[in-house]
Each structure stands twice: as structure tokens, then as C-alpha cells.
Structure 1
């Protein structure tokens, strides 16, 4: 699998993005954040890095007018749209629900269990991930 340059581009882009998340998370004491390294959301988008690394590598290897590139490009757009749209909206809803649950919890009506709020990405985080994936694919495939 490692011999496959498209797969290698995608995996390296993902690994770099996840590692960067651990360092770019805002922390009071600074340093590396395992929570952000292992979690979803954050800067840059590893989903975007992964799919753009794959799509650009496929384009470089098979041609940007190939069916293989068309498939990988369309799927990349779906993943990036989902990261910045649907998953981000779900994160905002979780934030609102957590606030409501905190108010109810203070009244003693039930045991509080917080929902995960960092689910999606800002458009800038998606763009940063996509650019990272493109850069990695260009380095690996050229």
C-alpha cells in the first residue's frame, strides 16, 4: 500500500494535519495537545488534507481529465463541504444543547453529560487542510 503514491500522499497529508492540530490548539500552558491531536475539528482540517492529497495525487498520476481524478475530486468536494457545513452546524447545536443542559443540571433534574462541540471546521480550516494536501501530493508525486 505504501508504494501507491496516491495513498501515500493522502496518508502523509492526514498525519501532518493531525500533528499540526496538536500544536495549533490554543492551550493555557502551551505545548502539545493530545486531545486535539486525537480529536475531530481544529486547524487544519485533516479530512480536507487527506482527500485533497488523494485527489491531486490521482490527477498528477492519471491526468486531471481522467475518470479517476473526476471521482476523487467530486468525493473531495463532498467531504470538504460536509466538514465546513453539516459537521460544523452539528457542533454549534451541541454547544447550545450543552448550555441548556447546564441550566437544567443546576436545577438537579438530571445528570449532566456534555456533548462534543468541536465537530466541524471553519472554511479557513478546510482551506488550510486542502492546501496542505495539495502541497504534500505535489512533493510526493513529482
Structure 2
């Protein structure tokens, strides 16, 4: 016979499975990852100013640059999981593998794609004005990260996760 769950039963079941508080404030890995991402993006304003002597608010939303927000995010996630659940669990293993893939991609594939975009932009600029491709909008060339930017993001992620643990 099929059971029918009433709205009162569903409410009772939901109430018994939740602790009465929101998921996010109790989730150290998630908070650490989000905070690391936000800090890395915010710091790009200052590293851009230091390097180029100009303020560029678009850096807060863009990829590439110092420090790597991708690296900061996945490193904070892995470290916070390690602090919270230990380093012997599956969640930590998944987070470490994810971090390695993201950081490899940021400093490898995406960095080289950005360098190719830069070269293609130079080639297009040298085309005669009547060439069909000469009016194409330039490609984004700040896609990836140098190894130093990846390391800086990782250090930021570790520091944020450590400070959030305390």
C-alpha cells in the first residue's frame, strides 16, 4: 500500500534533519573557499596598481593576475576539509585532486591560451584595414596564471583556511 506524506509530516521530517541553523555558517570549507576567492579578487586591484600604476576595477571580476583566485579557492577548500575532517578521508582526497587539476590548468593550458590570444591580437593589429578580420574585437589575453601567481593564491588559501579554523 502506498504511503501518503502530508505537509505536516514533511515539515516534521525536515525539522528533524536540520539543526535549526543555516548550512553556510557551519561549513568551514565552503566559507574558507568563498572568502579566499573574494580576497584574491580584491587583492588584484592592488597588484595591478603596483605593476601598472593604474586602478582597474575590472580586475575584481576578471580571470588571470596576481594572486590566482582559482588557486586560492581550491587550496582553501582542501586545507579546510583537512582541518575539519582530517586528511585520511575521501573528501580531502577529492579536494586535493581537484586543487591539483585546477592549478595545473591555470598555470598550463589557460596561461598558454592567453599567450596565444596575445599573439593573435598582435597579428590582427598588423593586418591592413580592409582585411575582413582587421575589425574583430581583440581576444582576452589574461586567462591563466604564472607559477608565481598560482603559488601566491595557494598560500593565500592556506592562510585563510588556517585563520578560519581558529
Tell me if TM exceeds 0.5: yes
**CA deviation map 1:20-53 (0-9, x unaligned):** 001111334x4x4212111110000000000000
Tell me, yes or no, if structure 1 residue 138 matches structure 2 residue 162: yes
TM normalised by structure 1 equals 0.93
Which of the pair has more CA radius of gyration?
2
1:93 to 71, 91, 116: 116
**CA deviation map 1:66-125 (0-9, x unaligned):** 111000000000000000000001001001110111111x34212131000000000000
Output the CA distance in 2 between the equivalents of 1:88 and 1:2: 35
Bigger relative contact order, structure 1 or 2 (CA pairs below 8 A, ≥6 apart)? 1
| Matched positions, count | 139
The match for 1:108 is 130
| Partner SS for 1:115 | coil
Contact 1:102–1:112 under 8 Å retained in 2: no
The match for 1:21 is 44
Contact 1:14–1:46 under 8 Å retained in 2: yes
Contact 1:44–1:128 under 8 Å retained in 2: yes
TM normalised by structure 2 equals 0.80
CA RMSD of aligned residues (A): 1.1
